[in-house]
Chains A and B, each alone.
Chain A
Amino acid sequence: MMAGQKKKSLVQAVGVQQLVIVGVIVILFAFFSLMSASFRKYTTIITMCSYMYYIMLMAIGVTFPLITGGVDLSIGTGLVCYSIVGSYLMRQMGLPIGIAIAVTIGMGIIFGFVNGIIVAKLNLPPFITTLCTMMIARGLGSILTNGMTGVWPMAGQPGSWCRDILKYKIGDTIYPIGMIIILVLVVIMSIVLNHTRVGRYIIAIGSNKEALKLSGVSVVRWHVMAYVISGFFAGLAAIAYACTFTSITPGTGAGLELDAIGGAIIGGTAMTGGSGSIVGTFLGVCLISLLKTGLPNIGLQANWQQIITGGILIAAVTVDMARRKK
């Protein structure tokens, strides 16, 4: 009897949905490893991690606007825009990489702040607001840099230490130490979401904004904060993206945000707002990245990735809606 109760509380603590995702990840991992020899290689894991970092960072950030009942669509083209501007500062103006990184993250925060002000203060629908800033970010990147391709330092060049943060090479073996940073950020943001005033108010905005307003809290400030967090993480994602791909074409990036949003929703963040967890988001993105790396390895063309993203997104939201109805 006691044992049964203890078991139940463990399941409750982690969350049923999260446990299901872990199960699915394990099964898929086993399946892909059995089916494909190329998937079993250590380098595949490294590649998967590199592709996962920027999606993960975007997803951690976008979880906050999602919890307020909004969404941030500007992160995808935004991260391309920020990293292009960062590379422009380095290449054309000869500034040190530290400043470029600071500006990249700073631009993310500014975009987040603008999104937040328009949504919270002017009461525009979040999806249309961030669609517009997505469009603006898309054009702005090429306007500010005269349409030049952004190039970040490659391995061995001065300033390549930013790559070593994510992938550390000792001898011939590469260690994906970016994963440690991601895990630390997941822990920090979980604490921010569940145990600080910012996080609690952001959840409250999603579940009952009117009640929060009536209890005398300045809702606008915390609502803006959710978008600023999202923008800040899009800035971090921009650096991870730049370090992974080194050359970035202006005008791209549309659709990247959907992987992040999909990850957050699979992880149990409600489309309607009011609940969500960073650990869930982490697991959701792991699942999406696993599918995106694994399926091409068992013979599906790369083009299927877009269909997979779309399918996962619809499936996740449908499940979320059905569960909430119950």
Chain B
Amino acid sequence: MKEALRKFKNLKFVRVVGFNRVVLILIIFLMYGLFTLLTPILRNGSSFVNYNRIMSAFNYAYFIGFLGLGVTFVIATGGIDFSIGPVMFCSALISGYCLTTFNLPLWLCILISIAVGSIFGSVGGYFVAYRHLPSFITSLALMQVAKGVGSIFTKTQSVTWPSDNPSISWYRDLVKWNNFPTGFVIFLIVAAICAVILFRTTAGRYMLCLGSNKEAVRLSGVDTRKWEMLAYILCGTLAGIAAIFYVGAYTTVQPGLGDTFNNEAIAACVMGGTSMAGGSASILGTVIGAIIVALMQEGILAMGFTISYQYVLTGLIVLCAVTADITSRKRKN
């Protein structure tokens, strides 16, 4: 048994993808099997397997995935960002309000959405990197600010993006085009770009180094503050992109919400093998983690449970993933 496991770990595919990621992919299939098995039992014969269900899981995976990719950069530097969910909602509210009330062109609104995300990211990054505030308290404060700004901008009204006007609803094609999941392709492309930034550029290398030993990087003459701030800006920008994919899938956004998505995005990250201690990250892991989170939510709803179970499960998953990470680190030392 042990021998077989060792052999499996040494396979080329497993070494490239990483053992954790292979296990996660197996978990996806396991979950899928479990839901297929349990849904008919719990809901008198209704079936879990159908194309719409997969599409709906994908819709959820996109925006959680974009949020997760962003927060991966921040966690890699050893920080955390709890503001991404509300920032995403704030971006969607402001740009949607511009679209529906001020009748701005759609491309401009998409840019506004991304810009709002970047601004929140820059503010957070400034306070964390240049003012040395703890990242979790900064982002918690920004979370409240984002909720407030969103509500004030739209006068506490929910915003519904247009979905039937072909000239200004092409943003929906970014998510789904004639039943083809275009969003998944874009998501994978963005993930690939993120992987290149994190592992193949100076910026990414410095971010990872910051996470493992900030003092050493600083003493070697690098302006650590700049790179740390950049991680938060990337995170905010990706939250702005996530907003487009959120409205592309669901069209309506309500003010004052969004903080549950933080935890799901962070869950996707830590499940995927990004260490809470900083210094090691996995983009592929985050992608798989986002799919697991989305599949879990789809399964829970399909089996007839309420969304509250998803909250509890997400909490437990993050606890287990972080505990596992800490124990494995201890063993290595």
Binding site for B on A (CB under 8 A): 71, 73, 118, 122-125, 127-129, 131-136, 138-143, 147, 250-251, 254-255, 258, 261, 271, 301, 303-311, 313-314, 317-318, 321-322, 325
Contacts and interface: CB of A to CB of B under 8 A. Distances in A.
A132 B319 contact: yes
B56 to A, nearest CB: 21
28 contacts: A122-B323, A123-B326, A124-B323, A125-B322, A128-B266, A131-B263, A132-B315, A138-B308, A139-B312, A140-B312, A143-B308, A143-B309, A147-B308, A254-B259, A271-B134, A271-B137, A303-B148, A303-B156, A306-B148, A307-B144, A307-B149, A310-B142, A311-B145, A313-B141, A314-B141, A321-B132, A321-B133, A325-B132
A220 to B, nearest CB: 16
B152 A303 contact: yes
B80 interface: yes
Given A134-B315, A313-B140, 16 more contacts: A125-B276, A128-B322, A132-B316, A132-B318, A132-B319, A138-B260, A143-B308, A258-B141, A258-B144, A303-B156, A303-B255, A307-B144, A309-B141, A310-B145, A311-B145, A314-B141
B148 A317 contact: no
Given A127-B80, A139-B308, A118 B319 contact: yes
B143 interface: yes
A interface SS class: helix
B310 interface: yes
Contacts of B318: 128, 131-132, 135
Contact of B127 (A124, A125, A314): A314
A112 to B, nearest CB: 16
B312 A306 contact: no
A200 to B, nearest CB: 25
A309 B143 CA distance: 10
A325 B318 CA distance: 34
Contact of A139 (B144, B266, B315): B315
Contacts of B152: 301, 303-304, 307
B133 A136 contact: no
A255 B220 CA distance: 40
B82 interface: yes
B321 to A, nearest CB: 10
A153 B105 CA distance: 53
- Of the candidates B127, B136, B137, B326, the one having the most CB atoms from chain A within 10 angstroms of its own CB is B137
B261 to A, nearest CB: 11
B306 interface: yes
A309 B311 contact: no
A258 B138 CA distance: 11
| Ranked 10 nearest A-B pairs via Cβ | A139-B311, A306-B148, A135-B315, A307-B148, A310-B145, A310-B144, A139-B308, A139-B312, A313-B141, A132-B315
B326 A122 contact: yes
A306 B144 contact: yes
A102 to B, nearest CB: 24
B312 A136 contact: yes
Contacts of A254: 259
- Of the candidates A123, A129, A303, the one having the most CB atoms from chain B within 10 angstroms of its own CB is A303
B164 to A, nearest CB: 30
Given A135-B311, A147-B306, A306 B127 contact: no
A258 B311 CA distance: 20
Contact of A317 (B137, B145, B147, B255): B137
A304 B148 contact: yes
Nearest to A136: B315
A135 B307 CA distance: 12
Contacts of B39: none
A242 B132 CA distance: 38
A123 B325 CA distance: 11
A183 to B, nearest CB: 28
Contacts of B12: none
Given A127-B136, A147-B308, A136 B144 contact: no
B72 interface: no
B297 interface: no
A141 B308 CA distance: 9
Contacts of B280: none
A124 B319 contact: yes
Contacts of A125: 276, 322
Contacts of A133: 315
Contacts of A71: 136-137
A285 to B, nearest CB: 16
B224 interface: no
Given A135-B311, A136-B312, A306-B151, A318 B131 contact: yes
A142 B312 CA distance: 11
B314 interface: yes
A303 B326 CA distance: 40
B143 A310 contact: yes
Contacts of A141: 308
Contacts of B256: 306
A128 B80 contact: yes
A124 B323 CA distance: 7
Nearest to A144: B308
A139 B309 CA distance: 6
B315 A142 contact: no
Interface string B245-281: 0000000000110011001001000000000100000
Contacts of B138: 314, 317
A317 B315 contact: no
Nearest to B263: A135
